[in-house]
Chains A and B, each alone.
Chain A
């Protein structure tokens, strides 16, 4: 494949000249500044990290179902749980969905030749590589990987064992330091990515592409990038203070009178709760940073395979903006049991419940998009439909957790684990898979295999739903999270469900094997795809496949809405977004 190597003039009159000098393998596939190559790099990195993240979950699921059979110590157990959460959220979902699919589709959907800053884009990927390496290497340092939970709450995460600070647990030594370092690099990468996304979407849109003509996917990436840019600084500040507490003996978070293993800590007066506030000021918006783009992708995929424009475009955009705003001011609902003033608790409860309203608008719009539609049940469409179901089911659990009085019982139980896995695990990954199956023909010029795809969907969907719905019931039964073993009598009925949960977890993970095989096999051997295989209408389908460097010969000029679907006599009438006349 001779990649079109040419200048990237910015005006629509300019041409990209094909057949220029060819570039070497390293520049084309490794240190590439092309957004499409970087997107694939991110997706491959996420797939690699998912093997580690899911592998860890298999290990601790064995311990939970059949205690003692996984051959791990309690310290290793909490470390695996910690690293599973960190890797899956920041190095799998964030990389595949936000960094991977975002990179691929933003310039193509807004009609730009590349990101606003291609070099910065390349750097943000190459910062992730050492971050991932450090995260993995932390398993092999003295004391093992971090074990303070993916939320890294002090005092445990601050008790480093360095200098006069006592050691909290094996994993709170060098493992936690490397965790913080890897997370710092992740924040740098994600911030650079976010700057690029916003600059590209605001300033590089094709002529005629007004904001209200952007595909909903682009809207969600735009909002997610803004949320990330405004909320990550809080975690940056918290990480700086945590590092100072760990290594230089300050007391931002470490309280007075702490005795660890008989050793009196010298720190005094710090407030561990402060860290929780700062962490969740990032943590909650981060949920929307990941969930909203998944919903955006679902809107695009639903439109293409139901041959109808998504219902209520304007209302969806408005709902997304309201969710983003509310998402910034509700972080305290993660901390109802921390002893906050009841009035503050009431505020966080009400503001969180308010989010139900815009989310209901999105849910109704997703469902109404299917009304009287001629649905094509492709794998991408199945995943988009699965997303609607997960948003609804996960969202209902959220109502209970948002109510402070109910949360007093549910806090730190498997009800929470089931809820957040449905939202930040199943919603995000069904969205990601919908996006991968949908854009794969544009990425590689070939279709993914549909039979394997459907096997992948049903295994994932049934397995994941069973795991996380059952976990809600275990939480009802009082089963707390992060426990190595359960001995109390009252929790035994809930614990008895663990083998079943583990079997379903195996099923969901085994269902990823056909996906891995399908991805690499289809890349080289899949059925060849034409430029617009789904007869979709957004701009990425107006260029050639495989997409040349610079994306278009002539930049497209947008003449209408992104979703020009209408049921014609043949059922497939559609109008491309850059159609003339």
Chain B
């Protein structure tokens, strides 16, 4: 185990020795590919939703109004993220605000689950409820990845550009907007 930890440390030093410009490019490739993969994932769920809703047992579920409030929170988090990205000197407080809003969003989603459950709507109650619970959970995993990246960025805010963190964060926000529209209007 000790050996493994040592290997990790060594690797960090090693990869840091790639020229900074090249390292920035590999991160860019990695981030955009992950966003492309994420788009494919949500597109697949969208297609599945549109197919599944053709079945005769489809019964719309009244989603809690909180999902709209959560959308506003994640939208606001995109604004603060953008401010953090643009303002080098003042990046840290805006980044902190983004993380705070991200956590608020997750808490809001958890509350929406509780509200829906209180109405007697559970995972297997109706196909749309199955989609709601599943998509919020899958989306939450993407938010969690985003929060982890932002926390890591907080340490070095002001020294390194935040463009790629922002790209992922905007993707996560847009994905939630997409899911809310899908569940409410289709």
- Residue numbers of A with Cβ under 8 A of B are 7-11, 24, 26-27, 31, 33, 116-119, 191, 194-195, 198-200, 202-204, 229-234, 236-238, 240-241, 244, 248-252, 256, 268-271, 274, 277-278, 281
Contact = CB atoms under 8 A, between A and B. Distances in A.
Interface stretch (B37-45, B64-72, B78-86, B158-166): B37-45
B44 A237 contact: yes
B90 interface: no
A399 to B, nearest CB: 29
B56 A269 contact: yes
B178 interface: no
Given A117-B26, A274-B48, A233 B3 contact: no
Nearest to A282: B44
B134 A271 contact: no
Contact of A33 (B7, B37, B45, B54): B7
A199 B30 contact: yes
B134 A241 contact: yes
20 contacts: A7-B14, A27-B7, A33-B14, A199-B33, A229-B36, A230-B40, A232-B37, A233-B37, A237-B44, A238-B44, A241-B48, A244-B130, A248-B123, A248-B124, A249-B123, A249-B124, A250-B127, A269-B127, A270-B55, A278-B48
Given A233-B40, A237-B41, A204 B22 contact: yes
Contacts of B22: 10, 203-204
Contact of B17 (A10, A248, A274): A10
A254 to B, nearest CB: 11
A244 B36 contact: no
A116 B26 contact: yes
Contacts of B37: 191, 229-230, 232-233
Contact of B3 (A7, A11, A31, A195): A31
Nearest to B131: A252
Size class of the contact patch on chain B:
35 or more
Contacts of B33: 194-195, 198-199, 229
Interface string B1-23: 00110011001001101110010
Nearest to A266: B124
Could you say which of B8, B134, B138 has the most chain A C-beta atoms within 10 Å of its C-beta? B134
B11 A119 contact: yes
A229 B30 CA distance: 11
B43 to A, nearest CB: 8
Contacts of B181: none
Contacts of B44: 233-234, 236-238, 278, 281
B144 interface: no
Contact of B11 (A33, A234, A237): A33
A434 B138 CA distance: 42
Given A203-B25, A252-B52, 17 more contacts: A7-B14, A9-B17, A10-B22, A116-B29, A116-B30, A117-B15, A118-B14, A119-B15, A195-B30, A202-B29, A229-B33, A229-B36, A240-B134, A256-B57, A269-B57, A271-B51, A271-B52
Given A24-B3, A203-B29, A269-B58, A118 B15 contact: yes
B10 to A, nearest CB: 8
Given A117-B26, A119-B15, A244 B123 contact: yes
A191 B123 CA distance: 29
A11 B17 CA distance: 9
A10 B18 contact: yes
Contacts of A269: 52, 55-58, 127
Contacts of A229: 33, 36-37
B12 to A, nearest CB: 8
Contacts of B45: 237
B130 A252 contact: yes
Given A252-B130, A256-B57, A270-B52, A203 B26 contact: yes
A27 B48 CA distance: 45
A271 B55 contact: yes
A436 to B, nearest CB: 28
B34 interface: yes
B30 A27 contact: no
A241 to B, nearest CB: 7
A233 B41 contact: yes
B143 to A, nearest CB: 17
A60 B18 CA distance: 52
B77 to A, nearest CB: 24
Nearest to B57: A269
A198 B29 contact: yes
Contacts of B124: 248-251
A11 B44 CA distance: 42
B21 to A, nearest CB: 9
A259 to B, nearest CB: 17
B51 A268 contact: no
Contacts of A274: 48, 51-52
A31 B57 contact: no
Contact of A251 (B18, B38, B47, B127): B127
A351 to B, nearest CB: 18
Nearest to A235: B44
B138 to A, nearest CB: 7
Could you say which of B26, B54, B138 has the most chain A C-beta atoms within 10 Å of its C-beta? B26
Contacts of B58: 269
A250 B130 contact: yes
A562 to B, nearest CB: 22
Contacts of B11: 33, 118-119
A8 B30 CA distance: 21
Contact of B7 (A31, A194, A231, A278): A31
Contacts of A233: 37-38, 40-41, 44
A191 B45 CA distance: 19
A8 B127 CA distance: 53
A409 B51 CA distance: 28
A232 B56 CA distance: 30
Could you say which of A31, A237, A278 has the most chain B C-beta atoms within 10 Å of its C-beta? A237
Contacts of A271: 51-52, 54-55
A10 B58 CA distance: 57
A251 B130 CA distance: 8
Contacts of B47: 277
Could you say which of B48, B52, B123 has the most chain A C-beta atoms within 10 Å of its C-beta? B48
Nearest to B11: A119
A204 B26 contact: yes
Contacts of B134: 240-241, 244, 250
B3 A27 contact: yes
A28 to B, nearest CB: 11
